Amino acid sequence: MLTWLPAIEQSLVFALMALGVYISFRVLNTADLTVDSSFPLGAAVSATMIVSGYSPWTAVLVAVVAGMLAGAITGILSTKLNITPLLSGILTMTGLYSVNLRIMGRPNVPLSRQPTLLRWVEDLGVARQYTGLIIFVVALVLVGVFLFYLLNTQFGIAMRATGNNSAMMNALGVNTDNMKIIGLALSNALIAFSGSLFGQYQGFADVNMGLGMVVQGLACVIIGQAILNGSVLKQVLGVVLGAFIYRSAIYFVLRMDVPVTDLRLITAVLVVIALVLPQLKGKFAPAFLKERKFVNFFGKKAGDTEHA
């Protein structure tokens, strides 16, 4: 059980981070690379604050707000300043690296013997080895329920539609620029939140801890999407499931004595497989499965005219 614990804990943190990536990648339909810096930003802000004597709760809250700002900057670059979304993310990510160093004052802030959230839970009488697990489960459930609700509100439906068809939303009177900025702020707030928790869990914040996070987040989202797709509920559950599958795959690969340095390559290959598999499923499926069920009111078979 205990050898499994870190794998489960890491899956939970990754699920949290991947839910942030889900907002940008799936809901807003844009690849946001801010992640690589907003993840360590969350850790940097909260670690620095905890070391300076602030309560871990305040530290996490400020980390979330910092992530929100980072996402908003990427959003403003891509909408108001007309920089391509991909480049906007890269620019914010690059700039934030220096900001993270400034916040911490050095590349690494250790949190050993500091009053972190884990210590707070431990003080409630929980055995030390389960504090991380409890915090992550509670955080993931809260965030999952929050997202499920939010994306089904009037506002959330408008945000999803903006990602799906921004021309239509403009024509329906929605300020799609603002919608994208808010979406990216929300996405990076969640990512900074997971970064903050992860920093406290591993006992330090490091300026390089976000390297490769985008692709790992995408891996969780895309694997999840390949398994569960459809309603918001299914998508959110899919992301969590994807995080577990991805981390389990990594766990087993590492146990096969593959060097840790090969992790990135394995992740990239996993993402490619997850992206290609659903296409194959479509190609080799028997014809009767592909046929659409609906015959429309003009007597023509649905799907004859367009494939979105």
CB 142 within 8 A of CB 60: no
Q: Which residue, 4 or 149, is less far from another protein as judged by CB?
A: 149
Q: Which of 247, 184, 175 is nearest to 38 (CA)?
A: 184
| Contacting residue, 153, 255, 290, 291, with another protein by CB under 8 A | 153
Taking the CA atoms of residue 76, residue 80, residue 86 and residue 91 in that order, the dihedral angle to the nearest 10 degrees is: -60
Full 3-state SS string of 286-297 = CHHHHCCCCECC
- Contact between 101 and 107 (Cβ < 8 Å): yes
Pick the binder of another protein from 51, 65, 161, 253 (CB under 8 A). 161
Token pair, residue 170, equals 């403009």
Q: How far is the CB of 229 from another protein (least distance, A)?
A: 10
Q: Which of 6, 95, 156, 203 binds another protein (CB under 8 A)?
A: 156
* Residue reference for tokens 């690849």: 31
Residue 180 binds another protein (CB under 8 A) = no
Q: Does the protein bind another protein through residue 284 (CB under 8 A)?
A: no
Query: Considering the complex, what minimum distance in angstroms separates the CB of residue 58 from another protein?
Result: 25
Least distance in angstroms from the C-beta of 286 to another protein: 19
CB of 125 to another protein, least distance (A): 36
> How many other C-beta atoms lie within 10 A of the C-beta of residue 100?
27
Please provide the size of the chain in residues. 308
- Range in contact with another protein (rule: CB under 8 A) among 61-69, 153-161, 251-259, 263-271: 153-161
- Asked if 11 contacts 247 with a C-beta cutoff of 8 angstroms, the reply is yes
SS3 5: helix
Q: Which stretch binds another protein (CB under 8 A): 15-23, 43-51, 90-98, 171-179?
A: 171-179
Distance CA 39, CA 167 (A): 31
Nearer to another protein, 129 or 231 (CB): 231
Distance CA 42, CA 196 (A): 4
Give the residue with the Cβ less far from another protein, 87 or 285. Answer: 285
> Is-contact 207 223, C-beta < 8 A?
no
Q: Residue 215 in contact with residue 21, Cβ under 8 Å?
A: no
Determine which residue in the list 2, 124, 167, 260 makes contact with another protein, applying CB under 8 A. 167
- Measured CA to CA, the distance from residue 96 to residue 249 in angstroms comes to 31
Residues 160, 181, 186, 207: which binds another protein (CB under 8 A)?
160
120/148 with CB nearer another protein: 148
Nearer to another protein, 175 or 248 (CB): 175
154 lies in the binding site for another protein (CB under 8 A):
yes
Is residue 80 at the binding interface for another protein, with CB under 8 A as the rule? Answer: no
- 14/25 with CB nearer another protein: 25
Identify residues 50-79 at the interface with another protein (CB under 8 A): none
> How far apart, in whole angstroms, are the C-alpha atoms of residue 107 and residue 29?
33
The size of the interface with another protein (CB under 8 A), counted in residues, is 36
* 53/173 with CB nearer another protein: 173
* Site residues (vs another protein, CB under 8 A): 149-150, 152-158, 160-161, 164-165, 167-176, 292, 294, 296-298, 300-306, 308
